[in-house]
Amino acid sequence: MDAHGHSHAAHGRVEDRRALAVALVLIAAFMVGEVVAALVAGSVALLADAGHMLTDAAALGAALFAATIAARPPRGRWTFGFGRAEILAAQANGVTLLVVSLLIVYSAIRRLISPPDVHGGIVLVVACVGIVVNLAATVALSRASRESLNVRGAFLHVATDLAAFVGTAIAGALVLATGWDRFDPVAGLVVAALMLRSSWMLLRESGRIFLEGSPAGIEPDEVAAALVAEDEVVQVHDLHVWTVTSGFPALAAHVLVEPGSDCHAARRRLEALLAARFGLEHTTLQVDHVARNPQDVRLGSLHPR
């Protein structure tokens, strides 16, 4: 059973790395062409998209590297392996999105106040090509595991770009139709808003893992109540629920059972409950008997004069 499960996990990681590599090649190749087109067209929306594409390329590269490191087995002092490298990459992606979005807001506001001439035709053509490229990258990433926060972070980058290019194409068409150049920085602000939203999602999720908060959807009080409700269980304390890395929730607790109970059988029942009801398969339960008669042990009492 274990070997079979590890085989599926390893296969999933290989598929994740392949999807990330395909998306990285597509994004990096298009980004170079978009920077040139943005400079020629004088478009802040295209520059905003190019900046976002740069963060996408960096994010995909970091995600690919982190996924490769995370695939290494536990060894030495790294008893949980290197899975949190993916969470670190996701958090870095969130910070990058935040910084670039603020730069885009600053540039767009400046251009709203004093708009330069924008070549709407170039903006429209490049945005349409960008839609095709980002759609292909999004499809590639959609086939990877969405359980990994690292892959979800990369997917959010690319999906945000896809939406941004749609907005940029609309801005280019409106500039062509009306001649009002401010449609371009308005589209840049929309891109920035999408980036801020993605940044908040990544920072919130990665921050919760680093601070070892309970996984989404698992309430520690509910877990404790479920354990205490089991036959022969008297008390549960020192309960901790956290996430080691994406898809790897863990639990540790001290459980007291009635005198005369089979501690080993109780532990097996509780482990089965946690796995079936809460999806917690990595658990550490210390199961002891509650004392029948508390004994008052004082210093020196063991060695009477």
What's phi and psi for 82, nearest 5 deg?
A: -120, 25
pLDDT at res. 47: 72
Q: Are 143 and 158 in contact (CB under 8 A)?
A: no
User: Are 246 and 112 contained in the same domain?
Assistant: no
User: Are 235 and 186 contained in the same domain?
Assistant: no
pLDDT tier, 8 (very low <50, low <70, confident <90, very high otherwise)? very low
Per-residue pLDDT at 25 exceeds 80 = yes
Judged by DSSP in three states, 288 sits in strand
Please tell me the distance from the alpha carbon of residue 150 to that of residue 206, in angstroms, as a whole number: 9
The torsion angle over the Cα atoms of residues 5, 6, 12 and 15, rounded to 10 degrees, is: -140
Please tell me the distance from the alpha carbon of residue 137 to that of residue 154, in angstroms, as a whole number: 10
| pLDDT, mean of residues 67-77 | 82
User: Are 73 and 198 contained in the same domain?
Assistant: yes
Which residue segment(s) compose the domain that 180 sits in? 2-210
Q: Is residue 302 part of a domain?
A: no
Of 192, 210, 228, the residue at which a domain comes to its end is 210
pLDDT at res. 230: 92
Q: Compute how many other C-beta atoms are within 10 angstroms of the C-beta atom of residue 106.
A: 11
User: Are 143 and 17 contained in the same domain?
Assistant: yes
Please tell me the distance from the alpha carbon of residue 83 to that of residue 70, in angstroms, as a whole number: 4
Sequence-separated (6 or more) residues with CB below 8 Å from residue 172:
43, 45, 120, 121, 122, 123, 124, 125, 127, 184
Please tell me the distance from the alpha carbon of residue 96 to that of residue 171, in angstroms, as a whole number: 25
User: Are 45 and 194 contained in the same domain?
Assistant: yes
Model confidence over 45-67: pLDDT tens digits? Answer: 667 667 767 777 877 888 888 88
Q: Which residue has the higher pLDDT, 261 or 80?
A: 261
Q: Which conformational region is residue 253 in: left (phi greater than 0), alpha (psi within -120 to 50 degrees), or beta? A: beta
Per-residue pLDDT at 256 exceeds 90 = yes
The proportion of the chain whose per-residue pLDDT surpasses 70, expressed as a percent, equals 86
Angle at 20 between CA 19 and CA 26, to 5 degrees: 95
Q: Which of 34-43, 62-71, 211-220 has the highest mean pLDDT?
A: 211-220
Q: Is residue 299 part of a domain?
A: no
User: Are 250 and 198 contained in the same domain?
Assistant: no
Per-residue pLDDT at 255 exceeds 80 = yes
Q: Establish how many alpha carbons lie within 13 A of residue 48's alpha carbon, considering only the half-sphere containing its beta carbon.
A: 36
| pLDDT, mean of residues 94-107 | 84
User: Are 139 and 64 contained in the same domain?
Assistant: yes
Please tell me the distance from the alpha carbon of residue 40 to that of residue 37, in angstroms, as a whole number: 5
Q: Is residue 38 part of a domain?
A: yes
User: Are 102 and 249 contained in the same domain?
Assistant: no
Of 190, 210, 230, the residue at which a domain comes to its end is 210
User: Are 114 and 246 contained in the same domain?
Assistant: no
Q: Which residue has the higher pLDDT, 238 or 18?
A: 238
Burial of 86 by CB count in 10 Å (0-12 exposed, 13-18 middle, 19+ buried)?
buried
Alpha carbon separation from 255 to 170, 229, 248, 252, 282 (Å, rounded): 61, 12, 22, 10, 16
| pLDDT, mean of residues 198-211 | 88
| pLDDT, mean of residues 166-183 | 79
Query: What size, in residues, is the chain?
Result: 305
Q: Is residue 121 part of a domain?
A: yes
pLDDT tier, 187 (very low <50, low <70, confident <90, very high otherwise)? confident
User: Are 268 and 174 contained in the same domain?
Assistant: no
* Tokens 């251009």, located at residue: 111
User: Are 206 and 230 contained in the same domain?
Assistant: no
User: Are 100 and 226 contained in the same domain?
Assistant: no
Per-residue pLDDT at 3 exceeds 90 = no
Model confidence over 101-153: pLDDT tens digits? Answer: 888 888 888 878 877 666 667 777 877 888 888 888 888 887 776 667 878 77
Q: Is residue 297 part of a domain?
A: no
Q: How many domains does the chain have?
A: 2
What's phi and psi for 125, nearest 5 deg?
A: -65, -50
pLDDT at res. 9: 46
pLDDT at res. 292: 67
Q: Is residue 296 part of a domain?
A: no
Q: Is residue 294 part of a domain?
A: no
Sequence-separated (6 or more) residues with CB below 8 Å from residue 240:
212, 220, 251, 252, 253
| pLDDT, mean of residues 90-100 | 84
- Specify the CATH number for the domain of residue 19: 1.20.1510.10
- Specify the CATH number for the domain of residue 244: 3.30.300.30
| pLDDT, mean of residues 281-304 | 68
pLDDT at res. 260: 86
Per-residue pLDDT at 298 exceeds 80 = no
| Alpha-carbon 35 to chain mean position | 28
The proportion of the chain whose per-residue pLDDT surpasses 90, expressed as a percent, equals 20
Q: Is residue 130 part of a domain?
A: yes
Run of H or E residues at 61: helix 44-70
Query: How high is the mean pLDDT of the chain?
Result: 80
